[in-house]
Amino acid sequence: MMDSRENRGANRRKLARINTQMRVDIFRHRLIGGWRFVTRAKAMDYNRYGVGLTSPVSLSQGTRLKLDLYAPGMILRQVSAEVVSCHRAGQAYRIGLRTYSSLRELADDARQHQIRYLAGMEEQLFPQG
CATH code where residue 94 lies: 2.40.10.220
pLDDT band at 67 (very low <50, low <70, confident <90, very high): very high
Tally of domains in the chain: 1
Asked if the structure places residue 95 within a domain, the reply is: yes
Asked if the structure places residue 2 within a domain, the reply is: no
**Range list of β-strands (E), 32-120:** 34-47, 50-55, 64-71, 74-89, 92-98
Res. 53: pLDDT tops 70: yes
Neighbour count for residue 79 (Cβ, 10 Å): 19
Range of the domain at 21: 13-122
Asked if the structure places residue 81 within a domain, the reply is: yes
Asked if the structure places residue 6 within a domain, the reply is: no
Asked if the structure places residue 113 within a domain, the reply is: yes
Q: Mean pLDDT throughout 89-98? A: 94
pLDDT of residue 117: 54
Asked if the structure places residue 100 within a domain, the reply is: yes
Res. 7: pLDDT tops 50: no
